[in-house]
Amino acid sequence: MPLMHRAIIERFGATIATVEPWSRHPDLIESPIPNEISNQEAYEREVVHRWAHSMQVQESGSIRRYYVSTHRAWTPRIPRFG
């Protein structure tokens, strides 16, 4: 969303929190282990639950990407080949 709608986001100074897609974690998809995150919905719920307070106080107008273990300023992805 931040890349496709950049002009609108900048125009309105929107504050956006994105969740790193579960599909970018093949280790979670291919071999779920008990007590680990076993599906996309559980993964997204865990990320949001873990970082809800940080999202709430996120700097106005900023765009951040949240992961299970960390979060950082959003940047466009570099395509993976191979």
What is the mean pLDDT of each successive set of 10 residues along the chain, which is 82 residues long?
Answer: 83 92 64 58 89 95 90 79 58
* pTM reported for the whole predicted model: 0.72
In this prediction, residue 81 carries a pLDDT of 63
Does the residue 78 lie in any domain?
no
In this prediction, residue 38 carries a pLDDT of 66
Does the residue 79 lie in any domain?
no
Domain that holds residue 36: 6-73
Domain tally, the chain? 1
In this prediction, residue 34 carries a pLDDT of 47
Does the residue 11 lie in any domain?
yes
Q: Bin 11: left if φ > 0, else alpha if -120 < ψ < 50, else beta.
A: alpha
Q: What are phi and psi of 64, to 5 degrees?
A: -125, 150
Does the residue 67 lie in any domain?
yes
CA distances from residue 29 to 2, 9, 22, 45 in whole angstroms, order as listed: 26, 32, 8, 16
